[in-house]
Amino acid sequence: MMSNECLPVAIAQYTVARDPERNLAMIDAFARDASDGGAKLLVLPEGLIARDGDDDSFAAAHAQSIDGPFVAGLRRISADHHIVLMGTVHVIPTVHDEGERPDPRVSNVFLVIRDGEIVTSYSKLHLYDAFAARESDVVRPGTVLPPVVDIDGWRLGVMTCYDLRFPETARSLAVRGADAIVVSAAWVRGDLKEHHWALLTAARAVENTCYVLACSELSSRNIGCSRIVSPMGEVVVEADDEHAGLIAANLSRERLDEARRTLPVLANRRFADPRLQ
């Protein structure tokens, strides 16, 4: 497929509600507005089904089946508005073998939905067992590297929240051809946490000469501050830590190619880790 010169994208920053139906209604409105504005991709936060800013385990406790009503609603929204949706949902595990002892924990699954169909998914590798939190108590970790998916000729890799702190994950996407990295997050507020978010999103962009599209949920618990960063680490557009809404930009193939000509770090690597290929 020939690469398009530009990819219009949007990020929806908002507070995920306790009620799944209300969340679907908000996503539907954001998808409509983004599509009307020309966006081909809408990035959503982490934990889309349900959240409570005062209860860290609420999202996992309200997990659904991948075939359940919430994901069906996301598929409908994608088809209705002709837009690709990216974000994470908490998914109830399935038992494949009759004698298998079930793990009661759920999976935190990044979905890419295009034309009403799930084109790829990814179970979060790095669980947020940091800053006194214990995501692994309720979420099982994934076991494979995140995928790279083609959207209108652009190669997009995906990561979930705490993955951002692991540069080898982003590098694995870049060496597999990612032009941009999409991060779905619920980045927790705290001392220096906003600084870490800004620093890490820019670092992942410039060290891999990729665009970074980073969406964080906005709430009393989580920072918002969603942003799009260029392959040279410049902030293209960003939201603040107070207001919900859409931010949008055009990813430029010319800008990407120029960054990689000027700063050929991917071509100049001397030691490649085959586990990241």
Q: Is 193 a catalytic residue?
A: no
Do residues 106 and 139 lie in contact, with contact meaning Cβ atoms separated by under 8 Å?
yes
Q: List, in sequence order, the alpha helices (H) in 134-192.
A: 167-175
Rounded to whole angstroms, the Cα distance separating 91 from 70 reads 10
CATH topology of domain 7-94+103-266: Nitrilase/N-carbamoyl-D-aminoacid amidohydrolase (3.60.110)
Predicted pLDDT of residue 2: 40
Non-local (6+) Cβ contacts of 181 within 8 A are 156, 157, 158, 159, 170, 173, 174, 204, 205, 208, 210, 211, 212, 213
pLDDT, tens digit, for every residue of 183-210?
A: 999 999 999 999 999 999 999 999 999 9
Q: Which of 41, 137, 145, 49 is nearest to 85 (CA)?
A: 41
Give the angle 178-180-184 at the CA atoms, nearest 5°.
Answer: 115
How far is the C-alpha of 108 from the C-alpha of 120, rounded, in Å? 14
- Largest CA-CA distance found in the chain, in angstroms, rounded: 56
- Residue 164's SS3 state is helix
The pLDDT, as a whole number, for residue 176 is: 97
Tokens of 188: 């927790």
The DSSP output letter for 167 is H
> How many Cβ atoms are within 10 Å of 115's Cβ, its own excluded?
11
The long-range contacts involving 187-195, CB below 8 angstroms and separated by at least 24 positions, are 187/161, 187/216, 187/217, 187/222, 187/223, 187/225, 188/128, 188/131, 188/133, 188/221, 188/222, 188/223, 189/220, 189/221, 189/222, 189/223, 189/241, 190/131, 193/131, 193/223, 194/223, 194/225, 194/241
pTM, two decimal places: 0.95
Please confirm, yes or no, whether 46 is among the known catalytic residues: yes
Residue from 5, 6, 40, 46 carrying the catalytic annotation: 46
Distance between CA 168 and CA 163 in Å, rounded? 9
For the chain, give percent helix, strand, coil, nearest 5. 30, 30, 40
Torsion angle of the four alpha carbons 240, 190, 220, 49, in this order, in degrees rounded to the nearest 10: 90
Going from the C-alpha of 123 to that of each of 152, 160, 249, 264, the distances in angstroms are 24, 9, 27, 31
Spatial separation of the C-alpha atoms in residues 165 and 177, rounded to whole Å: 20
Q: For the chain, list residues with pLDDT below 50.
A: 1-3, 97
Catalytic residue among 40, 135, 161, 210: 161
What's the pLDDT score for residue 1? Answer: 36
Residue 124 bears catalytic tag: yes
End-to-end CA distance of the chain: 22
What pLDDT score does 274 carry? 72
Selecting among 124, 135, 210, 225, the annotated active-site residue is 124
pLDDT for position 103? 86
